[in-house]
Each structure stands twice: as C-alpha cells, then as structure tokens.
Amino acid sequence: MSKLEIKETEILKDFDDILTFKEFKQVLKLGRNKAYELLQNNIIPSIRIGKSYRIPKINVINYLQNQK
C-alpha cells in the first residue's frame, strides 16, 4: 500500500460512512454558516432527508484532498 492509500483509509476512520451535520462541522472545524454554505452550494455533495443533512464521508475526504 502506498502512503497515499494508507492516508485515505486513515482519514476519518473513527466516523461512520455517513456524517451528520454536527459531525461534519466537527471534522472540518467549521462554523454553522460556513458548513451550510458548503452543502447548499454543493461544494461538498450531501443528501438531504427532510430538514437534516447527511454527508457521505468519501465526499468530505475528496474535498480535503482537492484542497491541496
């Protein structure tokens, strides 16, 4: 396994595959408004169930890797 592959599997390993909004904010250390902005503008794709957001962990990982 390359270093990049190890890194990808280690990122957010303590979280479920789907993050709640609260977990999403915690992981990225964001305030409420910035977190909503990322989701509402589809910068980080998410699923909306009623009034709640569910964010696939892979989408957060992809976002973080593309910020380099």
- Give the fold, CATH level 3, of 3-66: Arc Repressor Mutant, subunit A (1.10.10)
Domain boundaries, the chain: 3-66
Which of left, alpha, beta for 11 (phi over 0: left; psi -120 to 50: alpha)?
Answer: beta
Amino acid identity for residue 19 in this structure = L
Task: State pTM to two decimals.
Answer: 0.81
Question: Which stretch of DSSP H or E encloses residue 19?
Answer: strand 18-20
pLDDT digits (tens, 9 = 90+) for 4-37: 554 655 778 889 999 999 999 999 999 999 999 9
**How sure is the predictor about 51, in pLDDT bands with cuts at 50, 70 and 90?**
very high
Q: Which residue has the tokens 């915690």?
A: 26
**What are the residues facing 32 on neighbouring strands?**
none
Confidence band (pLDDT; 50, 70, 90) for 1? very low
pLDDT at position 6: 45
Reading the block at residue 48, the tokens are 């909306």
**Beta-strand pair 18-20/47-49:** unpaired
pLDDT, average across residues 52-64: 94
